[in-house]
Each structure stands twice: as structure tokens, then as C-alpha cells.
Amino acid sequence: MPNPTAAILVIGDEILSGRTRDANMHHLANVLSEIGIDLKEARFVSDDEPAIIDSVRALSKGYDHVFTSGGIGPTHDDITADAIAAAFETHIDVREDALTILKAHYERQGVELNEARLRMARIPDGAELIDNPVSSAPGFRLGNVYVMAGVPSIFQAMVQSVLPSFTGGLPILSETLRVERGEGDIATELGALAKAYPDVSMGSYPFQKDGVYGTNLVLRSSDRVRLAAAKEDLIKRVQHDA
Amino acid sequence: MPNPTAAILVIGDEILSGRTRDANMHHLANVLSEIGIDLKEARFVSDDEPAIIDSVRALSKGYDHVFTSGGIGPTHDDITADAIAAAFETHIDVREDALTILKAHYERQGVELNEARLRMARIPDGAELIDNPVSSAPGFRLGNVYVMAGVPSIFQAMVQSVLPSFTGGLPILSETLRVERGEGDIATELGALAKAYPDVSMGSYPFQKDGVYGTNLVLRSSDRVRLAAAKEDLIKRVQHDA
């Protein structure tokens, strides 16, 4: 059985403007890989309602699980929750369960739950809350879409909160072979190997370091035995061809 | 006049599998920001022909410029050039101009131009070649889509090759204000500022460091005078509100 599939939608200008490098896609890619869910697509859009709505609909339809990151804070440009509700044509308002969590949090901190912060209790009807152990304001799941915060520490904590609910496939194992030969030199042999092992995915990543041209060959499979066999075969092919 | 818009499509499993962190989106975001082109969307898909075709068509239609990265090497999973040709319903084959470049390169290197390497001379009809000063194998432009290599050093060199042809808008300037207050504390004032300066974009990025909660406020505009005015106003608002 093929592994379940997933996509991530990163919302906001922070990365598209070049201000910061992505962290959340990278984190999710690693976590999903470990539990055997294939991250098949990632999209980054700005805080733009039509862009969010279109992307969420397309990804929700195309993949088993969709994770979003960003745009659920208290500021005027935090429009993710409302856009998700619109994408699913669901009503959204301040919800009692989320409000209770925020009230308790800000009381503990001695901080006013003002109108801006109240926005963070806006949750679509029918959504399940996602626990936020870092700063309380919850994420939520609606259908197959998991809506989470953009701040990396909170995003990671929320991923941790939802992980137990996933039935992943088998963990994906990988083996890397570093070859000091150009891709073009070994491409024919790689093609033959890929045909011989259709159940082992193969990536070749050329590099150039200190004047040396080479290729990192990465084999990936859930099947330890097939992976080992493919690696052995690869080593032979790459040596014979030299 | 609004700035021209752009999107990037990153092709391949390297980043989606968690193996590497993105470099090309981040580089392009910074370069475009400097010359006044707004990067509005990024997509990452695997070496999957339908996924590439769908994404290229959607992005080419939605934005002024589209940049792709990855999948133009010599291996069996390098299918980007063929997928781009299919997206535009254009014929593709080994092309004389690209072949001449590759021949010269491999002759200089004393390396055989084998069948695998010949794949890198496959260029769609009507496309313009993009110079690759690092390893010769060219990228190409077809319509508003710039097809470039995934290896970061080559991607960056190709971006450099095509930059002079762009008519960007005005460079986008930015000012950052670090405030040791939570987003929720200042969100109302930020909303008011955004309304007063619709021509200045504003991002607020919460952080948490050594137990301190705070927010980085980033103002961005092509207009130096308006940017300075917005910053001054922001400082006042954030102080008054304290």
C-alpha cells in the first residue's frame, strides 16, 4: 500500500519577502518522513484571502493531509482562520472552548484579553482544537486541514500535538552514497537501477566542492532489505562503470 | 503602478523529503525584493509530470514572471524540460544551439558527451537559452517561465544571467522595529497604522527569546519618505499605547 500523502501551505510574507528562511516546511518534511507520510507538495502564499482559499481547496482535494502554518495571530493581517472557514463554506466566530483557553492563559499572565487577542478565539464551526502548549492560542483541524501557527517553536509543538492521531505508513529509510563523479557519467546506470528497483526511490544531487564535481545518490524505501540490495547493486554499477 | 509579480516553482524531492533546506526560494526572494519585483507565491513539487504541468500553467497565468528550479540534469528523473514543453504544448528535442554549447564544454573537459548528457540539450521550440557560466548546460525561457538548474550555485548564476532583462519596479526598502511587547498588546495600533499607510506594507513577527516575548515589526515600501513617516508614526503609537 502506498504511503499517505501530505502537503503544507505556508501563509505570510515573512519568507516570500526574503526576510527569513523557511523552517516549518523543513521541520514537517523530516517529521513526516520518519512516520511514513510522503510530503508531496508545499506552497507559500501571502496573507491574501483568495490565494489562501484557492490553495487550501486544491491541496485538501489533492492530498490525504494538509498542514498550514501562519496567520492565526492577533493582528489585522492574520486572516488564515477566516479564509479556511470561507474555503469550506463554514461559519466562523469566537468560540466558547477557545475563549476559555485564552481567558485562563491571560488571567495567569495578568494580561488583558483585549479585542485583538479575542481574534485568536475565532474558530470555524465543526473544527477540532489543536493544543498549543507554548502560548495557548489553539490551532484547529477542519476536515483534513490542520491549521497551525507560523512561529517555528509553536508550529513544532502543534505538530507534536497532532502526530499521535496519524496513521502513517512505514517509516522511510534512506541510504546516501557520495560519488566523486558527475551526474552525466553515471546517469545511464542510475536509470537502469531505478528500473530494477521501482520500489526504491532514487535521487541524485550533484555537488561541486573545492573543485571536485560529484553526486550524492540517495536511495529511499520503507523496505530495509530492498534498500540494502539496491545500495549494493548501486555500488557495483557505479564502480563497474568507472 | 504596482510592482511586477513573480512566483517560483521548485522541482524535485530533495527539499520535500527533508534532506536539504531550501536555498533557491530564499535567494530569489532577496534578489527580486532588491529590484522591486514582488514574489507572491512559491510551490515545491516532486519530479512528477502532471504536478509540474499543472503548477507551471497556474503560475504562468497568475503572475508576471515564473522561475523554476531543478530537474534539468542528465538523469532519468530530470523531466522538467519535457514537462514545460508539455505545459505549453510545444515540441521539444535536442536543439542545435544547446548541443553546440555542450559539445564545446565537454571537449574542453575531455569528457564524453554521452546519451545521458545529451538530454541536457533538449530545449522546447521557441525557447531562448539562459547562460550557465558554471557548468554550461543551459536553462531556457519559454514565455514568462524561466527554467533553471536546482544546484544553488548554478541557480544563482542563472538568475544573474537573466536579471538584466527585467524591468522591475522600484526597489523595496524596509525598516524593522524590535518591540518587547506581545503582538496582542499592539495589534490594534498596528491595524490603525496599516489603514493610515495603505502604501506601506507591514508585517509583525512575534518572537520569544530568553523568556522575553516580543514582536519584530517590519515596514516595507518603495517610497523612502512614506516609509520614514510610517516608522516615526509607529514608534509614537507603540510608545503611547504602552
Mean pLDDT across A175-204 = 89
> What is the CA angle B39-B42-B48, rounded to 5?
150
For residue A15, the model assigns a pLDDT of 95
What pLDDT shows up at residue A240? 57
Q: Is the dihedral of CA B32, B34, B36, B40 positive or negative?
A: positive
Residue A75 pLDDT more than 70? yes
Chain A contact set for B19 (CB, 8 A): 174, 203, 205, 218
Nearest CA in chain A to B211: A134
pLDDT exceeds cutoff 70 at A242? no
Amino acid A203: pLDDT = 86
Mean pLDDT of B143-162: 94
Report chain B's mean pLDDT, rounded to a whole number: 92
CB A30 within 8 A of CB A39: no
Select from B95, B158, B212, B183 the least CA-distant residue to A76: B183
Q: Which ranges constitute the DSSP H helices of chain A?
A: 13-16, 24-35, 49-62, 80-87, 96-109, 115-118, 152-162, 183-196, 224-240
Chain B nearest-CA distance from A32, in A, is 9
DSSP string, B93-145: EE-HHHHHHHHHHHHHHT----HHHHGGGEEETTPEEE--TTT---EEEETTE
Q: What is the mean pLDDT of residues B126-143?
A: 94
Which pLDDT belongs to residue B240?
A: 57
State how far the Cα of B63 lies from the Cα of B37, in Å rounded to an integer.
11
Query: Residue A90: which residues within 8 A CB-CB, separation 6 or more?
Result: A124, A125, A126, A127, A142
Identify the weakest region by mean pLDDT among A51-55, B28-32, B105-109, B139-143. B105-109
What CA–CA distance (Å, rounded) separates B193 from B187?
Answer: 10
Which DSSP category does A221 fall into? E
What is the average pLDDT score of chain A?
92
In this complex, is the C-beta atom of A107 within 8 Å of any C-beta atom belonging to chain B? Answer: no
What region, left, alpha or beta, does residue B91 occupy, with left being phi > 0 and alpha being psi -120 to 50 degrees? beta
The answer, yes or no, to whether residue B191 has pLDDT greater than 60, is yes
Per-residue confidence at B196, pLDDT binned at 50, 70, 90?
very high
Whether B182 and B212 have beta carbons less than 8 Å apart is answered as no
B45 vs B55: CA distance, rounded Å: 8
pLDDT, tens digit, for every residue of B52-96?
999 999 999 999 999 999 999 999 889 999 999 999 999 999 999
Query: Between A32, A75, A204, which is nearest B183 by CB?
Result: A75
- Yes or no: say if A121 and A72 are a contact pair by the CB < 8 Å rule: no
On the question of pLDDT at A198 being above 80, the answer is yes
The verdict on a CB contact (< 8 Å) between B190 and A76 is yes
Q: Across the strands, what pairs with B93? A: B123
Min Cα separation A232/chain B (Å): 20
Give the C-alpha separation, A146 to A59, whole Å.
12
Q: What was the pLDDT predicted at B107?
A: 93
d(CA B73, CA B151): 10
For B81, the enclosing helix (H) or strand (E) is: helix B80-87
Query: Domains in chain A, ordered, with CATH?
Result: 5-165 (3.40.980.10), 173-240 (3.30.70.600)
Supply the pLDDT for residue A239: 76
Q: What is the mean pLDDT of residues A56-78?
A: 96
Q: What is the pLDDT of residue B242?
A: 44
